[in-house]
Chains A and B, each alone.
Chain A
Amino acid sequence: MVEMVVFILMGAVALAGALGVVMARNPVYGAMGLMATLFALAVFYVVHLAHFVAVVQVIVYAGAVITLFLFVIMFVGVDRAESLTEKLSLQRPAALIILVGVVVLTGALVVTDRFDWVISTAEPAQVVGSIEEIGENLISVGSSDVRQASRWLLPFEATSLLLVVAAVGAISLAFYRPRRSEEETGTSDSDTGSNR
């Protein structure tokens, strides 16, 4: 009962925060929305009695990462005069396609009730204590029951893929220069550095 109430409340906060990240005109509000989402996730962990994960979530994300975001935003700033028109024209269609794909796939999972496609429905191994056991539960293939052993392998790999995508995106954004400014300033390849 309490879990349900907390889940609904914090779920709403998480979604509102996520929407804020995407929709906010002002990057500071976007950063605060991200923090709200991450904090709501931390509350979910607490509901699942994973206090350690919750606290680490708050320390790492809310404490360090978003503080750095704010620091950068406040120092570098986003000039209000800077044009906010989109430079990646394929972004929105691509996002739409991915959204539809995710919704269809999740819906298919729910409708067919085949959650064993993504996670094993088998009971997890006994109480996980040592680091070796956690690692074995996560990625080991040595166990006799293959599905049991690779229970968390797919979510784990999906997370790492997400991180890689984010890193690549950040790098490409940092090196991305609109073609127009290059013509205006007439810079040569030598002083724009390694971005070509």
Chain B
Amino acid sequence: MDWIDLGLIALRVLVVFGMLQVVTILLVWFERKIVADMQNRIGPDRAGPWGILQTLADGVKLLFKEQVTPRKVELGLYLAAPVLAVVPAFLMFMVIPFGRPVRINLAGEDRLIPLQGADLNVGLLYVLAMSSIAVYAVVLAGWSSGSKYPLLGGVRATAQAISYEAAMGLSLVPVILFTGSVRLSEIVAYQSGSLTFLGRSFDFLPAWNLFILAPSFLIFFIAAVAETNRAPFDLVEAEQEIVGGFHTEYSGLRFALFFLAEYINIFTMSALAVTLFLGGWSGPTWDDSLPLLVSAVLPTVWFLAKVTLFLFLYVWLRATLPRLRYDQLMNLGWKRLIPASLGWLFLIGGALAVRQFGLPWG
């Protein structure tokens, strides 16, 4: 561990930090354009080519707006809540690998630089821990605003987060059992190459977990949409019922922070889905025939392409599905998703036991 190592770590963290902000700017525009298309509108088209700078303009506007502080707020927590929303959102992405490790010769020494903030040996659990911390922002914002609609939003958020965290955690256990690791880089490495299932090889399919653990993937994706409070699970900020939910009393930059956190979370959840089920950055790189630089960047391109697919899914869901009623939400979480993921977990556990120890009567 010398200064170059420390500098590289700082550089990686900065890169992730910057990437998430750029991604947010593009993602908001992406969503507005897609939703506009689906609703037969034009959408933002004034700022920059195809309105791509619209989010930037909105962000600058929010920066300069007055930050209204209502009289009945609990000031300390009211100010802390937006920060609490943004910090876990940034931290969560730090462990997700977004490209193939790069080998660079620095100061006469070959260094293998993993393209991720930190390669933790408990990566997946860390992501779950951070996503459970993220709930606090919503809860505290709702409570500290001293107003009824935010409070209702906050209570809904707590209930929803607790319910769907359970389903999400359970849906990820088969992935851990199957790949035998919670280190995200190892989970990605496990999914490289082509699929072998029940001793038969399917050369035309990549070895993604998606093909074998499809039920897990479905449960995970539904729970992820609920965790990020997105339509059709956006009861937390249901405009027709509780105005804006937990962020009703926030304006200006404080509101912008909540907004930023929400979109970063969408991106992180999509990236996590890609990492766990779609092989992360793995994809053909043609190392022999392409120039070195191109084949080094290609994995990141694959990763971003897969993530964009998920982002589109998110937007598509929002544009097409009506919001669930509260009891439907709870029923779906507790009576469908959790039993389903438990049953699937039993199946996978049994299958793995048979694979390892053979049939009990054999």
Tell me which residues across on chain A come within 8 A of B151, comparing CB atoms.
74
When A32-B77, A51-B122, A52-B125 are in contact, do A74 and B158 touch as well, CB less than 8 Å?
yes
Residue of A nearest to B158 (CB): A71
B residues 148-185 with Cβ under 8 Å of A?
Answer: 151, 154-155, 158-159, 161-162, 165
Task: Decide if A62 is an interface residue (CB 8 Å cutoff).
Answer: yes
Q: Which one of B122, B126, B155, B162 lies within 8 Å of A68 (CB-CB)?
A: B162
B residues 115-173 with Cβ under 8 Å of A?
Answer: 120-122, 125-126, 128-130, 132-133, 135-136, 139-140, 142-144, 151, 154-155, 158-159, 161-162, 165
Contact across chains for B121 and A51 when beta carbons are under 8 A apart:
yes
Residue of A nearest to B169 (CB): A59
Task: Decide if A75 is an interface residue (CB 8 Å cutoff).
Answer: yes
Contact across chains for A55 and B133 when beta carbons are under 8 A apart:
no
Residue of A nearest to B166 (CB): A64
A residues 57-94 with Cβ under 8 Å of B?
Answer: 58-59, 62-64, 67-68, 70-71, 74-75
Contact across chains for A59 and B120 when beta carbons are under 8 A apart:
no
B: number of interface residues (CB 8 Å)? 28
Contact across chains for A55 and B122 when beta carbons are under 8 A apart:
yes
Task: Decide if A56 is an interface residue (CB 8 Å cutoff).
Answer: yes
Tell me which residues across on chain A come within 8 A of B126, comparing CB atoms.
51, 55
Contact across chains for B125 and A55 when beta carbons are under 8 A apart:
yes
Contact residues of A: prevailing secondary structure: helix
Tell me which residues across on chain A come within 8 A of B74, comparing CB atoms.
26, 28
Contact across chains for A74 and B139 when beta carbons are under 8 A apart:
yes
Q: Which one of B76, B132, B159 lies within 8 Å of A62 (CB-CB)?
A: B132
Across the A-B interface, how many residue pairs have beta carbons closer than 8 Å? 70
Tell me which residues across on chain A come within 8 A of B165, comparing CB atoms.
63-64
Q: How far apart sit A56 and B125, CA to CA, in the bound complex (Å)?
A: 8
When A56-B125, A58-B132 are in contact, do A74 and B162 touch as well, CB less than 8 Å?
no
Contact across chains for A67 and B161 when beta carbons are under 8 A apart:
yes
Q: How far apart sit A147 and B155, CA to CA, in the bound complex (Å)?
A: 51
Q: Which one of B120, B135, B142, B144 lies within 8 Å of A67 (CB-CB)?
A: B135
Of listed A29, A32, A35, A55, residue having the most chain B CB within 10 A: A55
Contact across chains for A62 and B129 when beta carbons are under 8 A apart:
yes
Q: How far apart sit A150 and B122, CA to CA, in the bound complex (Å)?
A: 29
Contact across chains for A59 and B161 when beta carbons are under 8 A apart:
no
**What 0/1 pattern do residues 27 to 38 of A give for CB contact below 8 A with B?**
011001001000
Tell me which residues across on chain B come within 8 A of A51, comparing CB atoms.
120-122, 126
Tell me which residues across on chain A come within 8 A of B129, comparing CB atoms.
55, 58-59, 62-63
When A59-B125, A63-B165 are in contact, do A71 and B159 touch as well, CB less than 8 Å?
yes
Tell me which residues across on chain B come within 8 A of A67, comparing CB atoms.
132, 135-136, 139, 158, 161-162
When A51-B121, A55-B122 are in contact, do A75 and B133 touch as well, CB less than 8 Å?
no
Tell me which residues across on chain A come within 8 A of B77, comparing CB atoms.
28-29, 32
Q: What would 19 more interface pairs be, CB under 8 Å, given A52-B125, A62-B129? A: A26-B74, A28-B143, A29-B76, A32-B77, A51-B126, A55-B126, A56-B125, A58-B132, A59-B125, A62-B133, A63-B128, A63-B132, A67-B132, A67-B161, A68-B162, A70-B139, A70-B140, A70-B143, A75-B155
Q: Which residues of A contact B (CB under 8 A)?
A: 26, 28-29, 32, 35, 51-52, 55-56, 58-59, 62-64, 67-68, 70-71, 74-75
